[in-house]
Structure 1
Amino acid sequence: MFTERLHHAGGATEGHASEAHAFQLLRRALRTGYTVTPTPQGGAVVTWTARRLRDGQVLEEDRSVTLTPQTPAGRLTGDVVAALVSVDQAAAPLPALRDGRPVVRVGVQLIGHGMTSRLYGHRLVVEERGRVRLTLVAHLALLAARGASPQDVAAVLLPRPAAATA
């Protein structure tokens, strides 16, 4: 979940956004050509210039939407980044138990108890349909940590076109 804050000519409006809504908002913003800037805590700021006609004049006004995660990503250490990258790149990361405690299986390796707890605790990963996946918060925090370019942000957040079959 995110707190969504829209900054407009009349001030600001605040509400809540699910991960699905936030993803849709960011994808629409990217397709429209707006600037999407990830934040280190796993949120994002979308900025654009609104143009409107008033008394025969075109007025330009800055607008923005700020998405702030309800559970911040926390500090992304090298170990956290490595664990997130391994989950993201694995063909089928699976939830598992070791000694009765949760771990994540990535290929033939396991992400240990402590790191798994941290990833789940900061809501950087979730289980979905029997698999473990990165959340939007994790993707945005990783992009911010890398100082990602707008092209990098679009490459991660926009769906990839399906491969053509012959």
Structure 2
Amino acid sequence: MSFRRLRHFMQLIELRDLRNISSYGIMMKRNSKLSLALHALAQMAETLNRPKTSAAIALHNDTNPVVVRRVLGLLREAGLVTSEKGHNGGWLLARPPDRITLADVYLALGDRFLRPEYDGEDNPPECLIERALLGRVESALQAAENTLVSRLQDTTIAELRSTELTPVD
């Protein structure tokens, strides 16, 4: 990706222009862990005092309960959910849904959406030009990532449950 396209991509993030950001699909990977985590948290927010089982969450999200446990385990480590063992056990929110932001979830999962692609025949690591550009690209991607996290802090799980989310302009 050229620096011009990268700069444009960063401007789209800053402007919250999600419709046009999708045209940069090559730079943004679909994060199924984030999607699963957000769906699960929204489900837990519906039934605050009743634990949700991994099996129920998995069924609702068309995945395997083991995948659910792995993802929610990361959220438990971050203090976003708790788990109860036993026949009536399951997963519960560790704090009210209006106190859990999308940024909390995103950071708890530890995956980055934006990553430079260092490998490949087009940019071998021994190429001096490529090595010189890597630092600048990484810096630009980190700035975009910081903007993304900043924007995610503006939305809570409670707001996700709302049927009328404000569209992003």
TM-score by length of 1: 0.29
Pick the structure with more strand per residue: 1
TM-score by length of 2: 0.29
Pick the structure with more helix per residue: 2
